[in-house]
């Protein structure tokens, strides 16, 4: 199962997990991965229903664009 947004190709973010110790030189750092907030949504594209894995920020953009189009048509 791929953890990549199919719209913007957003994938994991890598960073350091730093323990709270006395000094920076003493503290050991372990790398951690932050996964994107993916949602599985169905879209109607070209008369066919297609299931896409998109991140929450792309879903927000898509829903905003559809609201603008509906408001423009009314």
6-53 pLDDT, tens digit each? 999 999 999 988 777 776 666 778 899 999 999 999 999 899 999 999
19 falls within a domain: yes
Domain assignment present for 44: yes
Domain-located, residue 31: yes
Question: Quick check: is 6 in a domain?
Answer: no
> Number of structural domains, the chain?
1
2 within domain boundaries:
no
Q: Has residue 48 been placed in a domain? A: yes
Is 2's pLDDT higher than 80? yes
Give the domain range for residue 61. 13-73
Distances (CA, A) of 40 to 7, 8, 43, 53, 72: 12, 14, 10, 5, 28
CA distances to 15, 20, 23, 24, 38 from 45, rounded to whole Å, are: 37, 50, 55, 52, 20
Residue 1: the pLDDT is 58
Residue 63 lies in a domain: yes
**Residue 5 CB neighbours (<10 A):** 21
């Amino acid at each position: 199962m791929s953890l990549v947004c199919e719209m913007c190709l957003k994938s994991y973010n890598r960073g350091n997990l730093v323990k709270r110790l006395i000094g920076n030189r003493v503290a050991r750092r372990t790398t951690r991965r932050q996964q994107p907030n993916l949602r599985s949504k169905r879209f109607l594209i070209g008369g066919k229903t297609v299931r896409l894995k998109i991140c929450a920020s792309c879903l927000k953009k898509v829903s905003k664009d559809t609201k603008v189009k509906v408001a423009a048509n009314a």
